[in-house]
Chain A
């Protein structure tokens, strides 16, 4: 009641106050305000979607706070079973409406509905349930989404469910949800460049000259916006690079010249969240060398390298070539009969790794590594280590008897590994599988 009174006093002022807090989201904001300003018009369910960092949750929360509507916000990642979800909503509801003793707990959606029915008898204020990361609801039993969408119908209370997700509604749809659709579908588009600028400028660190920050951000965005439109990332970049120009005077040219090398490196490292110091290091090398430096940084033991290469050859070569490739005296290759069906030649490297068994791996390992010892426990432990590090993956549940593996690293990586021990991997790869 108090909310509606406030609205009746000065709705326009409230509205502009909310809008001011949300630059770039005026349209979506207006829609929400229109819905929530009169309690009787609140829809039973709203579905909000849009990419990450487009202000979905922020907008909803600001509007509901601004209009003083009671709501509960929870993330489906944390409350990932219907029971937990219901318990959390009910405990919030109890605090607001029922003032029941805490011992009265609620452990299923059915009990939640009962609670809502009780609450509706006491007072009929609107109550909003905001579910963040709603795509996780799909992992719950298939009745949960329909139940939430029809919560008002079932409980007879003025309740509204807002689902927020990165995905489209189509992705939520399945057979049991016929005739069940959120009433309102609201899309949050990506921020435009000017909106990004406005938001970044609004988060200006304290004690910095306005005009200076303005020119700094416009230079930053001019370079980076082509590569990255994610607001979070841009904010992070703005924070990271501001240290470099902090002490400069407000001259566009000097700012640009100082930033240039860092921004150049940053265009290759957006989203990786590395500090600036490391960006400088990478900058000095050629872009291709990063992989090789990764290989040398990893420093595998000698036999582990051969084990990895053997795994690579085993998963990208067909077993029929093994004799020819690895046996010492393999003899001449028999000519195929002219009538044999022509096989379509596909590069095995494009098809992807095939599983191989342990015996084959050890056989190839011994032929390429030339070890004096047979397979030892140390070597088996090394294989386990490689599996643990996800360089080789174990396939299926074949158990102890005959485990199967797949190599999980790419050609470039294995070539770099081979180079460190003078072994040309590529000459052992047969092109057709």
Chain B
């Protein structure tokens, strides 16, 4: 049940598209079909599930925050590009103004960037902004066609067109009208439309464009410059040199380029994590291991914020699908409130391991109540959920403070980012980890000013969060006292430069004989070195901070009911998000029931090969038993044996032609999948290519 609706959810939802600039789409043309589609989507999707509104709410809040983040991030870049194009297109120069935007190699994110660029340019400079991708521009005339098309009809119709099903009658005509044209047609259109705003052409993936197409386009654009003012934006994923390599000199000399770089995508991710995902505003909490996996995929594989977010949303959907209505995400909206005590007791007590552990901690009547009294269970659950949510906010604040203390340490024992801390702290007691102990020993070597600065910064963080979290106030008070002490010492120390005590001691020692001196020194070495004032205060401060961390950073994963709030199913996430094609192939061939979910193969899996398996699976199973060279005749015989197992026939009957055909087909499939290959050494043999059995 769960899986079937899962697959629908993955394929049917298209995600929200933010459309900013184009509000003038013709409503009567697009609406009926759109409405029908959305209805279908809703019917097929999750929207009838009881937990769906909660999920939707969390998703919306996440998307809003991400959108805000993007807007902040791109603001500077967009401003620069827009200023450059505005300046150059207003003054008459011989060259075509060209903004080269270095976008980084994270290909899925480019769409977001260019959507923002398009919107900005439409608002600031000219209504004629054309986004082009290399897929639609195989020749120069296709490119012109695209430009004319988008300038004339705008984006909206193109989109509808591409969204339509292929059986639409109007579509071919619409497309035909504008697939190919010459530049003079563009110039004709420009003359007729009247305004003198430049046409801005944005090539989103410059690398993938055929250089000769771009060459021709630039050549003609500069030839027609007096009639049609053109400005270009190149989206370059690698470096500026790509443009220099792709275009010959006689074309380059027609451009006036300027380069603009987007932010480093690693910075963007850490920004995203700090501002959105690890903030109290984010209503979905992800477990440490899964979160680490997501960031690892980002750092090691793709550098793509978009796909990171997709995976994050996938985890979110999974969490809500698994926990259903009981998923805890927001204090104002505890679903348990609205449920009958019986339902709560029935669904929470037996299912959640953490709750059972919680019950075990109690004795006597309380334990009995927790097991049998439904009303009491409901009350406890509500209390625990509230505690959990509260604690998580404190936890995040504590994490930020700890990050403040550890980020500047040499060798970074606990990592450089807040997320590094989060991976560990969410499920373990971080103060028991050796890395934390190492940090604690390093703190003892902090100088006075460093400690003071760090305490100041911690205070800032705590005070920032204390409006909403009242529990922080006592920590603030304590730290302020220690900090004040520290400051007092420093001002005191500066006035009295050297301690008189030490001098006295030296004077005492100087008057003694050799043996007495020896005696004295021995005693001195035995007694612990006397701590000066600063060290005392430092130790006090560090103890206080340590105590604060122990209280704030209590791992949420060890609290009861944490399953309802944290998503920490690493196995599932790994299976779904780190696709491994070969493993999947082996698994499918070895145990087809895993994917087919058919009844026939279900029970027979333990027995080995079943007659009901697909042919290629039977062949695969048989080939595992052979050595390097496989005799095709033997293979066929054993294939026949299995296929005809049920048919009671005499033993030496010839293999039926139908079986032969099925066998040949399965062998061909095996060869296509790369398990066997024909060999010239023996005509009736094939070579086995894969070894080992890592799928079982």
A residues lining the B interface (CB < 8 Å): 52-53, 75, 77-79, 84, 88, 133, 166, 230, 232-233, 235-236, 239, 271-275, 278, 294, 297-304, 373-382, 385, 388-391, 401
Contacting residues, chain B, for A271 (C-beta < 8 A): 249, 252-253
A169 to B49, CA, bound (A): 76
5 pairs, A vs B, C-beta closer than 8 Å: A52-B250, A274-B259, A378-B297, A381-B302, A382-B301
Contacting residues, chain B, for A236 (C-beta < 8 A): 94-95, 253, 256
Is A303 a contact of B238 with CB atoms below 8 Å? no
Q: Is B289 an interface residue when CB atoms closer than 8 A count as contact?
A: no
A275 to B256, CA, bound (A): 8
Is B253 a contact of A375 with CB atoms below 8 Å? no
Knowing A78-B182, A377-B580, A382-B301 are in contact, say whether A232-B253 is a contact too (CB < 8 A). Answer: yes
Chain A's closest residue to B261 (CB) is: A297
Is A273 a contact of B580 with CB atoms below 8 Å? no
Interface residues of B in 241-263 (CB under 8 A from A): 241-242, 244, 249-250, 252-259, 261
Interface residues of B in 411-439 (CB under 8 A from A): none
Contacting residues, chain A, for B582 (C-beta < 8 A): 374-375
A382 to B300, CA, bound (A): 10
Is B299 a contact of A377 with CB atoms below 8 Å? no
Contacting residues, chain B, for A230 (C-beta < 8 A): 249, 253
Is B253 a contact of A77 with CB atoms below 8 Å? no
Contacting residues, chain B, for A375 (C-beta < 8 A): 580-582
Is A75 a contact of B102 with CB atoms below 8 Å? no
Cβ contact of A235, chosen from B94, B207, B216, B300, cutoff 8 A? B94
Contacting residues, chain A, for B588 (C-beta < 8 A): none
Given contacts A376-B581, A391-B238, 7 further A-B contacts (CB under 8 A): A301-B299, A376-B578, A377-B579, A377-B581, A378-B579, A385-B302, A388-B208
Is B105 a contact of A299 with CB atoms below 8 Å? yes
B587 to chain A, nearest CB (A): 13
Cβ contact of B252, chosen from A272, A299, A382, A401, cutoff 8 A? A272
Q: Is B237 an interface residue when CB atoms closer than 8 A count as contact?
A: yes
Contacting residues, chain A, for B223 (C-beta < 8 A): 75, 78
Is B581 a contact of A380 with CB atoms below 8 Å? yes
A380 to B302, CA, bound (A): 11
Is B105 a contact of A389 with CB atoms below 8 Å? yes
Is A299 a contact of B264 with CB atoms below 8 Å? yes
A304 to B299, CA, bound (A): 10
Is A304 a contact of B301 with CB atoms below 8 Å? yes
Central interface residue in B183, B239, B266, by most chain A CB within 10 Å: B239
Q: Is B484 an interface residue when CB atoms closer than 8 A count as contact?
A: no
Contacting residues, chain B, for A53 (C-beta < 8 A): 250, 253
Is B301 a contact of A379 with CB atoms below 8 Å? yes
Is A75 a contact of B256 with CB atoms below 8 Å? no
Contacting residues, chain A, for B249 (C-beta < 8 A): 52, 230, 271
Chain B's closest residue to A53 (CB) is: B253
Is A389 a contact of B580 with CB atoms below 8 Å? no
Is B257 a contact of A275 with CB atoms below 8 Å? yes
Is B238 a contact of A302 with CB atoms below 8 Å? no
Q: Is B572 an interface residue when CB atoms closer than 8 A count as contact?
A: no
Contacting residues, chain B, for A381 (C-beta < 8 A): 301-302
Contacting residues, chain A, for B252 (C-beta < 8 A): 271-273
Contacting residues, chain A, for B219 (C-beta < 8 A): 75, 77, 133
B245 to chain A, nearest CB (A): 9
Contacting residues, chain A, for B240 (C-beta < 8 A): 274
Contacting residues, chain B, for A272 (C-beta < 8 A): 244, 252
Q: Is B104 an interface residue when CB atoms closer than 8 A count as contact?
A: yes
Cβ contact of B239, chosen from A75, A79, A275, A298, cutoff 8 A? A298
Is A297 a contact of B102 with CB atoms below 8 Å? yes
Is B238 a contact of A273 with CB atoms below 8 Å? no
A278 to B100, CA, bound (A): 13
Chain A's closest residue to B239 (CB) is: A294
Contacting residues, chain A, for B258 (C-beta < 8 A): 274-275
A299 to B239, CA, bound (A): 10
Cβ contact of A75, chosen from B95, B220, B583, cutoff 8 A? B220
Chain A's closest residue to B254 (CB) is: A232
A388 to B252, CA, bound (A): 23
Is A297 a contact of B253 with CB atoms below 8 Å? no
Contacting residues, chain A, for B216 (C-beta < 8 A): 77
Is A299 a contact of B104 with CB atoms below 8 Å? yes
A381 to B579, CA, bound (A): 11
Chain B's closest residue to A307 (CB) is: B301
Is A373 a contact of B102 with CB atoms below 8 Å? no
Knowing A77-B216, A298-B239 are in contact, say whether A388-B244 is a contact too (CB < 8 A). Answer: no
Knowing A385-B105, A389-B237 are in contact, say whether A373-B259 is a contact too (CB < 8 A). Answer: no
Chain B's closest residue to A374 (CB) is: B580
Chain B's closest residue to A302 (CB) is: B300
Is A79 a contact of B182 with CB atoms below 8 Å? yes
1/0 contact string of B222-240 vs chain A (CB within 8 Å): 0100000000000001111
Central interface residue in A301, A374, A385, A388, by most chain B CB within 10 Å: A301
Contacting residues, chain B, for A374 (C-beta < 8 A): 580, 582-583
Contacting residues, chain A, for B250 (C-beta < 8 A): 52-53, 166
A390 to B236, CA, bound (A): 12
Chain B's closest residue to A381 (CB) is: B302
Is B300 a contact of A273 with CB atoms below 8 Å? no
Contacting residues, chain B, for A274 (C-beta < 8 A): 240, 257-259
Q: Is B107 an interface residue when CB atoms closer than 8 A count as contact?
A: yes
Contacting residues, chain B, for A373 (C-beta < 8 A): 578, 580
Cβ contact of B238, chosen from A235, A298, A380, cutoff 8 A? A298
Knowing A294-B239, A388-B207 are in contact, say whether A376-B182 is a contact too (CB < 8 A). Answer: no
Interface residues of B in 121-162 (CB under 8 A from A): 140
Q: Is B567 an interface residue when CB atoms closer than 8 A count as contact?
A: no
A301 to chain B, nearest CB (A): 5
Q: Is B184 an interface residue when CB atoms closer than 8 A count as contact?
A: yes
Cβ contact of B302, chosen from A79, A84, A382, cutoff 8 A? A382
Contacting residues, chain B, for A389 (C-beta < 8 A): 105, 207, 237-238
Q: Is B265 an interface residue when CB atoms closer than 8 A count as contact?
A: yes
Is B301 a contact of A390 with CB atoms below 8 Å? no
Chain B's closest residue to A303 (CB) is: B300
Q: Is B303 an interface residue when CB atoms closer than 8 A count as contact?
A: yes
Knowing A298-B238, A376-B578 are in contact, say whether A273-B297 is a contact too (CB < 8 A). Answer: no
Contacting residues, chain A, for B242 (C-beta < 8 A): 390
Contacting residues, chain B, for A75 (C-beta < 8 A): 219-220, 223
Q: Which 4 A-B pairs give the minimum distances between C-beta atoms?
A: A377-B579, A378-B301, A232-B253, A52-B250
Chain A's closest residue to B264 (CB) is: A299
Knowing A278-B259, A373-B578, A377-B581 are in contact, say whether A303-B104 is a contact too (CB < 8 A). Answer: no
B173 to chain A, nearest CB (A): 21
Knowing A303-B301, A378-B579 are in contact, say whether A273-B237 is a contact too (CB < 8 A). Answer: no
A276 to B224, CA, bound (A): 27
